[in-house]
A and B are shown apart, each in its own frame.
Chain A
Amino acid sequence: MTSLVGKSPLSLSRIAIHVVLIAACLLYLVPLVVMLLTSFKSPEDISTGNLLSWPTVITAIGWVKAWATVDGYFWNSIKITIPAVLISTAIGALNGYVLSMWRFRGSQLFFGLLLFGCFLPFQTVLLPASFTLGKMGLASTTTGLVFVHIVYGLAFTTLFFRNYYVSIPDALVKAARLDGAGFFTIFGKIILPMSTPIVMVCLIWQFTQIWNDFLFGVVFSSGDSQPITVALNNLVNTSTGVKEYNVDMAAAMIAGLPTLLVYIVAGKYFVRGLTAGAVKG
């Protein structure tokens, strides 16, 4: 690899590659830069300057105002996301364990049907889900929203874990059974400790999905129980008064920060986990 790159650092093709890459980076970064700049601008700067102009005064007033508006909804999102992520990951792990290592008659069919869940658009389940929540007495509650996210997420988490566990040799389970371990002991003592990469993938995936969800949030919650995505929408779409772009941008960034943080903390596991199942041995 180094031999290809190292010899003539200034060749035309290398310069071309770098130019293209830098251009691509800039293109990707423009929205972020605009958001950051705008969020720190004063309302005057916004009304006079254009989108890319540098702020004359840097002020955090947009951030303060944004936080004051979305504060409660941010915690709503946390209260919805964390249990939904943990529970759907836990059940997915157990499902994957059963579907790969304790196969039963029809388990392949069961898994196949479960996969349909991955292809179902959100919109198709809205009515049945709201009907079910109504019957369960969970309509317009945080618990109800958590429940919907868990059920909808199971298809994905099960798929992740099942595909990861398929590559673990059966002999491990057999050996543990001969050692006298039961279903849950094998899972807890042997399988789960091997699962760190896929647990991370699952956590990141589910966190991103649930935190960023808007549709379920807007349909299955109301008023004070709404998640931050819905609150952000309400904030941005207010039709009265002057548009406060600095507040909008700051609020959008607040809404996006947790997922960014999760990627930074656990991101290295993500790629590792996604490729772990691909190679046997």
Chain B
Amino acid sequence: MATLELRNVNKTYGASLPDTLKNIELQIKDGEFLILVGPSGCGKSTLMNCIAGLENISGGAILIDGVDVSGTSPKDRDIAMVFQSYALYPTMSVKENIEFGLKIRKMPQSAIDEEVARVAKLLQIEHLLNRKPGQLSGGQQQRVAMGRALARRPKIYLFDEPLSNLDAKLRVEMRTEMKLMHQRLKTTTVYVTHDQIEAMTLGDKVAVMKDGIVQQFGTPKEIYNNPANLFVASFIGSPPMNFIPLRLQRKDGRLVALLDSGQARCELPMSMSDAGLEDREVILGLRPEQILLASADTAGLPTIRAEVQVTEPTGPDTLVFVDLNQSKVCCRLAPDVAPQVGESLNLQFDPSKVLLFDAKSGERLGVLGATAGKPQPTERVGNVTQINRN
């Protein structure tokens, strides 16, 4: 049980090389679950190794419970880690694997036996204790690796992509199990993944990383609803956010974003402060589930008629692709809406959900429309599944 604080952490492997980590500032409270997420090579695993003490940092400080541990060795940090490859000691039995750290810490054998029994029961691996790692399935090895981490009752758990070697079904099961485990044990956890679904579902806090820089640090909800830039917006969410590049134009004294589907046009009025935005290249960001099928309840919203290019029924939703401003735009509609290719649909947008990004820097400029006064469509037939999920 501990707090973790990273202050301006830097990591470089040589003056001539680009920095691997740049000015990382993160803070999590006791018992929180922090996710480090990003594409491969973004530095998330390096950052985790730095927290563990397996690699030295080049600058800044790492504080556990307010104490700077950046100079201390891994064994003095009281941290346990679960590796992607599990890293079970192949010549030792499951029991010996779990005991290893306890024995090195000179815990009396009776206490060790008790601890092994507790962990084995918790993870339901009692029947595997005498087997060698090579005789276990991937899922079982994963449990043992977790058992080894749990046995020490460390201040912080580190998980380095622990689920990525499992098959799809098992991964989803273990994800839920992990969340249950964390709710039960309430141990501060740092979890590295490249899977944005794991990031969204498991984390109390998420740090999205790219090129050694934390792009955004916040709750999953903040990251999803208010991504700081184009990268975060595109990385989090599946299917990903739609991006429509365009130029804002002035009409009747206010700025509008003009959408064109080829057969119809639609103006999305802008209500945020428009200083300096006129004629500027911007990118509209639109989550697939925020494109609605026009219905009586949503009459006030801007509507556009567009032709269906492709449909992808996924089961819970139907993904419909249309062209807007020559960009392919994905709409996530209810499964009972099954339009044919070539058919035209009336699509609506809630301007208060449409994000505006700067085309050059990729930074989020704000939300296109105001929330005030707009009826929030919550009981539409068209998007029931999406609402339930939220």
Binding site for B on A (CB under 8 A): 169, 171-172, 174-181, 185, 189-190, 193-194
B100 within 8 A of A: yes
Q: Nearest Cβ in chain A — how far from B144, in angstroms?
A: 12
Q: Which residues of B contact A190 (CB under 8 A)?
A: 89, 91-92
Q: Which residues of B contact A193 (CB under 8 A)?
A: 91
Q: Which residues of A contact B152 (CB under 8 A)?
A: 179
B89 and A180 within 8 A (CB): no
B36 within 8 A of A: no
* Known pairs A169-B85, A174-B81, A174-B83; A179 contacts B91 (CB<8 A): no
Assembled-state Cα–Cα distance A175/B159 (Å): 12
Q: Nearest Cβ in chain B — how far from A195, in angstroms?
A: 10
Q: Which residue of B lies closest to A177 (CB)?
A: B74
B87 and A177 within 8 A (CB): no
Q: Which residues of A contact B80 (CB under 8 A)?
A: 178
Q: Given contact pairs A180-B105, A189-B89, enumerate 5 new A-B contacts (beta carbons under 8 Å).
A: A169-B85, A175-B81, A177-B73, A180-B101, A189-B100
Q: List 26 A-B contacts (CB under 8 A).
A: A169-B85, A169-B87, A171-B84, A171-B85, A174-B52, A174-B54, A175-B87, A175-B148, A177-B73, A177-B75, A178-B54, A178-B75, A178-B79, A178-B81, A179-B75, A179-B101, A179-B148, A179-B152, A180-B104, A180-B105, A181-B75, A181-B100, A181-B104, A189-B100, A190-B91, A194-B91
B90 and A194 within 8 A (CB): yes
Q: How large, as a class, is the contact surface on chain B?
A: 20 to 34
Q: Nearest Cβ in chain A — how far from B173, in angstroms?
A: 23
Most chain B CB within a 10 A radius of its CB, from A172, A180, A189: A180
Assembled-state Cα–Cα distance A174/B75 (Å): 10
Q: Which residues of A contact B86 (CB under 8 A)?
A: 171
Partner of B87, one of A172, A181, A185: A172
Q: Nearest Cβ in chain B — how far from A197, in angstroms?
A: 12
A172 and B79 within 8 A (CB): no
Most chain B CB within a 10 A radius of its CB, from A172, A174, A175: A175
Assembled-state Cα–Cα distance A106/B246 (Å): 53
A172 and B81 within 8 A (CB): no
Q: Which residue of B lies closest to A195 (CB)?
A: B91
Assembled-state Cα–Cα distance A47/B73 (Å): 77
Assembled-state Cα–Cα distance A194/B74 (Å): 24
Q: Which residue of B lies closest to A179 (CB)?
A: B101
Most chain B CB within a 10 A radius of its CB, from A169, A172, A178, A181: A178
* Known pairs A177-B75, A194-B90; A185 contacts B85 (CB<8 A): no
Q: Nearest Cβ in chain A — how far from B156, in angstroms?
A: 11
Q: Which residue of A lies closest to B52 (CB)?
A: A178
Q: Which residues of B contact A171 (CB under 8 A)?
A: 83-87
Query: Using a CB-CB cutoff of 8 Å, which residues 52-72 of chain B contact chain A?
Result: 52, 54
Q: Which residue of B lies closest to A193 (CB)?
A: B91
Q: Which residue of B lies closest to A181 (CB)?
A: B104
Q: Which residues of A contact B104 (CB under 8 A)?
A: 179-181, 185
A176 and B89 within 8 A (CB): yes
Query: Using a CB-CB cutoff of 8 Å, which residues 10-65 of chain B contact chain A?
Result: 49, 52, 54
* Known pairs A178-B74, A178-B75; A172 contacts B89 (CB<8 A): yes
Q: Nearest Cβ in chain A — how far from B98, in angstroms?
A: 10
Those 5 A-B pairs whose CB atoms lie nearest each other, nearest first: A179-B101, A171-B87, A180-B75, A193-B91, A175-B87
Q: Which residue of A lies closest to B100 (CB)?
A: A179
Assembled-state Cα–Cα distance A113/B80 (Å): 38
Assembled-state Cα–Cα distance A185/B106 (Å): 13
Q: Which residues of A contact B79 (CB under 8 A)?
A: 178
Q: Nearest Cβ in chain A — how far from B171, in angstroms?
A: 19
Q: Which residues of A contact B92 (CB under 8 A)?
A: 190
Q: Which residue of A lies closest to B76 (CB)?
A: A180
Q: Which residues of B contact A176 (CB under 8 A)?
A: 89, 100
